[in-house]
Amino acid sequence: MTKKKIDVKHQSKDEARNQRYNQYVNAVTPQTGTAKSLFHSFLVGGLICLIGEILFNLIRALFPAMSEIMAGHLMVMVLIVAAIFLTGLGIYDVMARKGGAGMFLPISGFANAMASASMEHKSEGLIMGTSVKLFSVVGPVLVNGIVWSSLAGLIRLLLP
Amino acid sequence: MNETLKMLLDYGIVFIIGGAFCAIAQLLIIKTKLTPARILVIFLIAGIILEGVGLFKYIVNFAGAGAKVPIIGFGAALAKGAIEYAKIYGIMGAFAGGLIVTAYGIGIAIVTSYIVTLIFNPKTKK
């Protein structure tokens, strides 16, 4: 009985200390952390888009016969292949730690999620590991993309 | 001189718009504690809606790869394909169109991921 009372006393003491500590943490870290990570994502994300645009212009200059739509497809394909090879070499994940959303929001992050999931489960075999887990991260994107875009197509059919 | 200035301005716009999308995503992660997968789906659906109401082509005209490279562009491409094919092939086209136009990226991503998995072993996380 007395022991319990002591515990409760300790607990309230701990809580008060935790609260003070949390206040201290909130006061010191978030602002700088938020601003810094926002700036990093902006910088990295903008840079990847810039690489995409330069690549697109390069493709347009190299293959003048190619239509603009196909050049856009080729640009995305090059970015995907580059991101997957960087993932294989272990470089992409190192950069992703700094870049945050700047590294996963562009299409290269989509490719990285696929490749890293399939590599991580290689030890479980090519069928039950790699092939099954390939979509474990990007699955929601594909499922929602197909469902909602099909819906968009069907709605457009109803309109004159 | 004027031409290079215009080109630099275009690249600047691409950089700023592309970066802004990523900064918004990062802000969502920090403020709402949503997981990256949810953020990706939110941006994807945003892209589908923007394309569905016909606004996305103005964003692409303005920002180029800054709008096409983030996942919002993937959603817009899906919706654009579905709508285009629905116009041509009716109901069947609505289901196939999105995948047909994005199959370039998805196809090469699957094949390259498989090849890379065969070549490389996963790096141990430090």
| A82 shares contact with chain B (CB less than 8 Å) | no
Instruction: Compute the nearest-CA separation of A25 from chain B (Å).
Output: 15
B87: closest chain A residue by CA: A157
**DSSP-assigned beta bridge partners for residue B41:** none
Per-residue pLDDT band for B126 (boundaries 50, 70, 90) equals: very low
- Map chain B to HEC letters: CHHHHHHHHHHHHHHHHHHHHHHHHHHHHHHHCCCHHHHHHHHHHHHHHHHHCCCHHHHHHHHCHHHHCEHHHHHHHHHHHHHHHHHHHCHHHHHHHHHHHHHHHHHHHHHHHHHHHHHCCCCCCC
Q: Which helix (H) or strand (E) holds A76?
A: helix A68-88
Nearest CB to A46; choose among B18, B28, B93? B18
Place A32 in a pLDDT band, splitting at 50, 70 and 90: low
Domain with B54 in it: 2-119
Rounded Cα–Cα distance for residues A86 and B82 (Å): 32
Confidence of residue A4 (pLDDT cuts 50, 70, 90): low
**Is residue B98, in this structure, part of any structural domain at all?**
yes
Query: Does A120 contact B at CB distance below 8 Å?
Result: yes
A137 vs A119: CA distance, rounded Å: 13
Q: Classify residue B53: in a domain, yes or no.
A: yes
pLDDT tens figures, A128-137:
888 888 999 8
Q: Does residue A51 carry a pLDDT above 90? A: yes
Which pLDDT score is estimated for B49? 94
> pLDDT tens across A15-25, in order?
888 888 877 76
> What is the distance in angstroms between the Cα of B58 and the nearest Cα belonging to chain A?
16
Q: Which residue has the higher pLDDT, A70 or A2?
A: A70
Q: Write the ipTM.
A: 0.90
Tally of domains within chain B = 1
Residue B24: inside a domain: yes
Q: How confident is the model at residue B30 (pLDDT cuts 50, 70, 90)?
A: confident
Q: What is the pLDDT of residue A146?
A: 94
A5-9, A45-49, A86-90 — which is least confidently predicted?
A: A5-9
Asked if residue B67 is part of any domain, the answer here is yes
Average pLDDT value for chain B: 89
Question: Is B124 part of any domain?
Answer: no
* B49-105 pLDDT per residue, tens: 999 999 999 999 888 888 999 999 999 999 999 999 999 998 999 999 999 999 999
* B14 part of a folded domain: yes
The answer to whether residue B125 sits within a structural domain is no
Average pLDDT over residues A115-121: 89
Does residue B41 sit within a domain? Answer: yes
A105 and chain B in contact, CB less than 8 A: yes
- Judged against a pLDDT cut of 50, whether residue A7 lies above it is answered with yes
